[in-house]
Structure 1
């Protein structure tokens, strides 16, 4: 039974790591897209990101 429990635990950890990597990649893509379109928006989080990168 211990082997089965460890296998489930590692499967959950691998799943969380894969999800985190997936989410991080799409966040980076989203920030890149936002930086290309700074001139289209001047409100909220997009404006802050543009300001931080000096594109406002």
Structure 2
């Protein structure tokens, strides 16, 4: 069996792409939750997000 670095490289890239997609989905869900709770928080990153979307 011949060892190929190309297959290893592509599997690492596929893993990074899957991880990036996973993080992106949860970041979008987090922003959506923050926008629904703008009236509850007045500090930190949630306040900045609410300000950017005009909900503060």
Give the TM-score range, shorter chain. Answer: over 0.9
What are the residue-to-residue correspondences of 1:7-46 with 2, within 5 Å? 7-46=7-46
Q: Which runs of 5+ in 1 are unaligned?
A: none
Q: Which runs of 5+ in 2 are unaligned?
A: none
Q: How many residues were matched structurally?
A: 55
| Misfit runs of 4+, over 3 Å | none
Give the secondary-structure state (helix, strand or coil) at the position aligned to 1:31.
helix
Give the alignment's TM-score, normalised by structure 1.
Answer: 0.93
Cα RMSD (Å) of the superposition?
1.0
